[in-house]
Amino acid sequence: MSSKSPAPRPAFDPSGPRPAPPPSALPSTFNFPREYAYPPFYSLQPTLLTRSAQLRKWSALIQSYCRFHRIYRLSLIDAVDTPLFHNASIKKRLRLEDVRVVVTWMAGEEGGWRAEWVDGGGVGKGKIDGGGAVWVWWRRPEEWADVIAAWVEETGQRGVVLTLWELSQGAGSKGQEFHGMDPEVLQRSLNVLVKRGKAQIFGEEDEQGVKFF
């Protein structure tokens, strides 16, 4: 009785798409950067060049932390006691006033507009408000609009009418980065598509729907 040898596996093409890892392989905990374990990281440096590098690292940490935990709106007063700004293992934390400095930098041109201060439901770039709440843009609304537009193309959703709930919470968008998105962030991102002539929003409040073109 003869046996056939298994067919050879194709060589891995590094330029091709990588398969998505199985659910069990996805990280279950957030990995902090190495700077997180260095005490000087928690004191803003006086030298301009050193501080600029430090602010970039804090910005990258805040963005990646919020992205991992799906945090869109961050209350600084509440967050200052969380692991984001407080490393209990080395007993160091970034003071609230320094957190504000970091976020103000993020909200400006040098910081790439990666944060916006929330002011009673309105948003102003670089504006500090008394509440200490900010939008953290690991993707800005314009970038979210690109992600949603790409999904519309890939899934053949042009001409389809979806409620905003179906778009962000429905089974059809499961596995997409925008699934479970904050409703206000979703609204702002869709408004970008409306201005580009790629979508129309209609209805009121909970009954709002969107049609893609």
Q: What is the pLDDT of residues 131-152, one digit of tens each?
A: 589 999 999 999 999 999 999 9
Beta pairing class for 92-93 and 199-202: unpaired
List all residues 6 or more positions away from 83 whose beta carbon is below 8 Å from its beta carbon. Answer: 32
Tell me what pLDDT residue 166 has: 87
Assigned CATH topology for domain 141-212: Arc Repressor Mutant, subunit A (1.10.10)
109-117 contacts at long range (C-beta below 8 A, 24 or more positions apart):
110/52, 111/55, 111/59, 112/59, 113/137, 113/140, 114/59, 114/63, 114/138, 114/140, 115/62
- Low-confidence residues of the chain: pLDDT under 70: 1-27, 120-131, 205-206
All CATH 1.10.10.10 domain ranges of the chain, comma separated, are 141-212
All CATH 1.10.10.570 domain ranges of the chain, comma separated, are 31-136
Tell me what pLDDT residue 171 has: 84
Tell me what pLDDT residue 121 has: 38
Compute, in degrees rounded to 10, the torsion defined by CA atoms 186, 182, 70, 194. Answer: 10
Tell me what pLDDT residue 25 has: 40
Tell me the per-residue pLDDT of 109-120, one tens digit each, with 9 for 90 and over: 999 999 999 974
Tell me what pLDDT residue 131 has: 52
Domain at 31-136, CATH from 3.40.50.300, 3.40.50.80, 2.60.120.200, 1.10.10.570: 1.10.10.570
At residue 61, what is the residue type? L
